[in-house]
Amino acid sequence: MPMKESQWIWFDGEFVPWGEAKVHVLAHALHYGSSVFEGIRAYETSQGTAIFRLEPHVTRLFNSAKIARMPVPFTPEQVTEAIAETVRRNNLRACYIRPLIFRGYEVLGVDPRRCPVHTVIAAFEWGTYLGSEALEQGVDVGVSSWRRMAPDTFPAMAKIGGDYVNSQFMVMEARDRGFVEAIALDVYGYVSEGSGENVFVVQNGIIYTPPLGASILGGITRDSAITIARDLGYEVREQLIPREMLYIADEMFFTGTAAEITPIRSVDGQIIGKGCRGPVTARIQEQFFGITQGKLPDRYGWLYYV
Ligand code: PPE
């Protein structure tokens, strides 16, 4: 989905014009995927622009960097302030924010540790991730022939650039087959996640989602959906999900910063439930969008007003 250029990009502590935020072609990250990043949304509320769950996003960014052994030349407080400042400086209301920390240009060769670490923050307007009707109608997905990474290969919990080569294969295959998105199994054959979303299954009023050990990213929207669902009185189980459980689900939905809470209406051509957004999904969406749009009280302290 195209992004709308904004004016300024925060680059190692300074704002540079959008078109001048450049790197050298021999930057390490370009060759070996040595970057960590975040995807964060800010929403427009009646009390002004609010960044959704900024603190856990910054924490995950620093955790990803730690896993990647990438020393970040800024503190979490500095990055937090820089993110807010990037939104303000660009006069953005609802937007998507992309902080990225990467290994730059110094030497070639796989070991990244002699390359400098750069930090950038971009923010721009970005629409609905999986299509404009997806939030109401739901999306058609397919189980990928690509598996998520085995636990001793790539760190799924870290949002590392190189991890997304796997996601790219998943989503390209899915779209070639006529689906909007893929769901991948983990290396043991259990349901893992989408190329950029966590997945939930509702059956007989109980909500299921794969555990962290199933090669998933610990999604912040996943955590938000679990919190909302439990508060609404639903039982939420983080447990291994066999593939066939998808086909007989009453409801399914994706969660993600970009995808927000998107219903899934079919898997591999099999209709899920009634083939439209189900009632449990609708109730969780209502709370989620109610809070992000400032229409319901921010009862969990999720909004950071810029
Ligand atoms: N799994 C993966 C693999 C993933 O990339 C994301 C976010 C999630 C789960 C959900 O995590 P969270 O956003 O914290 O709820 N994917 C980001 C990147 C999307 C993109 O196209 O780039 C996002 O949603 O911002």
Which string of DSSP letters, residue by residue, matches the chain?
A: ---B--SEEEETTEEEEGGG----TT-HHHHH--EEE--EEEEEETTEEEEETHHHHHHHHHHHHHHTT---SS-HHHHHHHHHHHHHHTT-SSEEEEEEEEE-SS--SS-GGGSPEEEEEEEEB---TT-TTHHHH-EEEEE-SSPPPPTTTS-TTS-BGGGHHHHHHHHHHHHHTT-SEEEEE-TTSBEEEESS-EEEEEETTEEEE--GGGT----HHHHHHHHHHHHTT-EEEE---BHHHHHT-SEEEEEETTTEEEEEEEETTEEPTTSS--HHHHHHHHHHHHHHTTSS--TT--EEE-
Are the beta carbons of 39 and 99 closer than 8 angstroms? no
Predicted pLDDT of residue 123: 98
User: What's the predicted TM-score (pTM) here?
Assistant: 0.97
Protein residue with its CA nearest to atom 16 in ligand 1:
196
Q: What is the pLDDT along the chain (306 residues), one digit of tens a residue?
A: 778 999 999 999 999 999 999 999 999 999 999 999 999 999 999 999 999 999 999 999 999 999 999 999 999 999 999 999 999 999 999 999 999 999 999 999 999 999 999 999 999 999 888 887 999 999 999 999 999 999 999 999 999 999 999 999 999 999 999 999 999 999 999 999 999 999 999 999 999 999 999 999 999 999 999 999 999 999 999 999 999 999 999 999 999 999 999 999 999 999 999 999 999 999 999 999 999 999 999 999 999 999
C-alpha 219 to ligand 1 mean position (Å) = 7
C-alpha 196 to ligand 1 mean position (Å) = 4
The binding-site residues of ligand 1, defined as CB within 6 angstroms of any ligand atom, are 39, 167, 193, 196-198, 217, 219-222, 255-259
Instruction: Give, for ligand 1, the residue of 141, 198, 228, 302 to mutate: max count of ligand atoms closer than 8 Å to Cβ.
Output: 198
Q: Mark whether 159 is an active-site residue.
A: yes
Predicted pLDDT of residue 253: 98
